[in-house]
Structure 1
Amino acid sequence: MFTRRSILAGSAASLLAAPALGAAPKKTALPKGFVAVENGRLVLDGKPYRFTGANLWYGAWLGSPGASGDRARLKRELDRLKALGVTNLRVLGAGERSPAKVAASPTFQEAPGVYSQDLLKGLDVLLAEMAARDMKAVIYVNNFWDWSGGMPAYLNWVGNGPWFQQGDPAHPWPEFADYSARFYGDQKANALFRRYLTGLVGRQNTVTGKAYRDDPTIMAWQLANEPRPAGSQAFGDKNLPAYYRWIEEVSTIIKTLDPRHLVSTGSEGDMGCLQSEACVVQAHKPATIDYLTLHIWPNNWGWIDPKTQPATYDAGEARCRDYVRRHIALAKSLNKPLVIEEFGLIREDRAFAPGADATHKDRFYKTIYGLALDDMKAGGPIAGTNFWAWNGEGRAQHPDAWFVQGDKSFVGDPPQEEQGLYGVFDTDTSTKAVIAEHAAAVRAL
């Protein structure tokens, strides 16, 4: 466990000891079980590390001994995922109290420096249960979006405002993205974030007794969920230096505290980088960033129209294929691995219910899996995929399918959207079959 005092002390020490920004981390012999990078590929114990993964942002919430917790369900969900062949989970290791009406509750940080020991214990439990199932974790420690607090919450805490909720009609896009991206250059907000980050990376698991930095269950620390430099080109032109500097500084802090684990950005690719491949390359150049990440959201990006999905699917899928191919080329140019760590598509007629028609959703999963598998077979940079997201036995609790603070039946769809919009339920037979088939193909490589 860590206290506010220990975090402050640790933060100061780590900053004083930090190497030059972007400097290559010291090469140290890794104990067995740690994922590493060799020759532009992920490796585990001397062999290529390839995986079929999922997003399970709420894992720590289920593991918590507090009001949100359901350890029995957590074990069931992990068992279901393991049975499908899923061996890698991307999970949320942070959360800040947000004024947003649709935001995760409870949170890791209820106020600046006020930390939830229940959720921290929940993360300990999650890692221990994953270790028992030979799974690896990618832990992201901030969020560009306000559904878990994230960067807007930090800005609100330090008075950098006025704060407004994502989707507020009084602040049309790209105002929210430009607001959230102020975070990178706000020193007061970053001081609060780094204090939490330092304590988390330096934490000792209360279940296993193992320091996080010594735990091979963790594959990587991730700077944030979908950190964007801006929403508009005008603000982005001014903000890019702060964005690049933030990536270098935070990744350097993590590598100083924990040189054994990988670090990634959590970027969507060029759609989250002002639609600029040059931005993606620059953001992933530092030696303290070990691999590239890629998110693919054709419905959200207007490539496949949710209202006319069957008619617009083919053209949208073609754009997705091109998007993956272009980012494979970027990864090769940097000689770094690539993980497709988020992808999703709605069910037919935008249905939220378990078992609803998933014809195009399943086809989309097959497309992404096929691209990944082909690249793996060719010895390319793609190491794995994490679909968004696992709902499991979670269900929407209200007729309109929206999350309400206090709900405990968490699903993979975050509170900012309808519960069931993209996630995979435990009864989604056809989609589960697609996942299992791909996992078997990856294991057979």
Structure 2
Amino acid sequence: MIQTVGALPAQQQPEWPDAAGVEDAVAQLRSMPPLVFAGECDLLRERLAAVARGEAFVLQGGDCAETFAGVSADNVRNKLKTLLQMAVVLTYAASVPVVKIGRLAGQYAKPRSKSTETRDGVTLPAFRGDIVNDFDFTETARVPDPYRMVRAYHASAATLNLTRAFVGGGYADLHQVHSWNTDFVRTSPAGQRYERLARRLDQALSFMKAIEIDTDQLRTVELYSSHEALLLDYELALTRVDSRTGAPYDVSGHYVWVGERTRQLGGAHLEFAARIRNPIGVKVGPSTTPDDLLALADKLDPQREPGRLTFVTRMGAGTIREVLPALIQKATADGLVASWICDPMHGNTYEAPSGHKTRRFDDVVDEVRGFFEVHRALGTHPGGIHVELTGDDVTECVGGGDPIAEDGLGSRYETVCDPRLNRTQSLELAFLVAELLESAS
């Protein structure tokens, strides 16, 4: 399905049945305060410039698709807890600064491989995320409703408010590392390993206090929001001109990316991303050629500005070692200063015999290993990981140190779209990545 935004085609857009409702919803969004500020986006661009130089590492994670029902203190805290634990492992075990980016406060729209879904002979519009329609498989629920964009704005505002309250209110204090590990994770192999690391961190903090080093800066963290810039009616309505610079920023999130399905060079999504000043990501899959990569860079980052552009690879475990080297070699030869981040989730999805969409943890791990192996062989910097995860004890991805079997997927399969790593699996992945970072340094 292709529609147009301005003179350019825009893929993956809903077929709104109510044009007047779209105009009204967009008008409401244009009158709303920004969700993030341009200065925060600029600071993130500086942090990502350090990643591009090989001086830092990105940890980006969160839900595949956020839901309105998921906007609660418990859900936000659990996701934050997962990111904080992973960041502690990466920072302390690998001795590398970690740029923390949540896949949250805006990830309400999802691309679909088909515009319709059929069950038991009934065909309805596909679920495109809570920002467009409802997950329930009924005719009424699946009608695209433009006023859900306004609900998504308020849900994002609430999520950001909760996140900032947790981060600024002491929850992210490194002195609280044990309190992040008091639930189901604690008894897992990864949780026990984390507890040992936390005790070493306690010792380090006690030493710093004993020699009168100020540790106040360890009581909070920088956490940035991100989502796919998919629903253009929403993103355009939340694009504002910065009073300091006169440049446009998408104030729906600090960092937005263009997906594999919408990165057409002549399309509206790339044109939108090229015009805003936010740091930008673009997903690159196994069909991406070196010339494609340079064309994307020329479009999104013609000035070759450090921190502006991030390539997010999503190749699949069986493909990354074959495809990625030529892309990095071409980028290096051209003098690109982009960051490289590995998304080990989207290329490794399959359907289990039970009918559940799932991923093997071993495949996720293997793609991350391949990502590091390629960069190590070429002498370039593996800049980060982009992971779909949750802080809950779900059963959506098979395997891991506290393994989930295919026949156990139905126990707590809660995602409305793609399968996520639970917190135990996420923590296990963080330890693996820390080891890879140590060996790469």
TM-score by length of 2: 0.48
TM-score by length of 1: 0.48
Q: Whose relative contact order is higher, 1 or 2, with alpha carbons under 8 Å and at least 6 apart?
A: 2
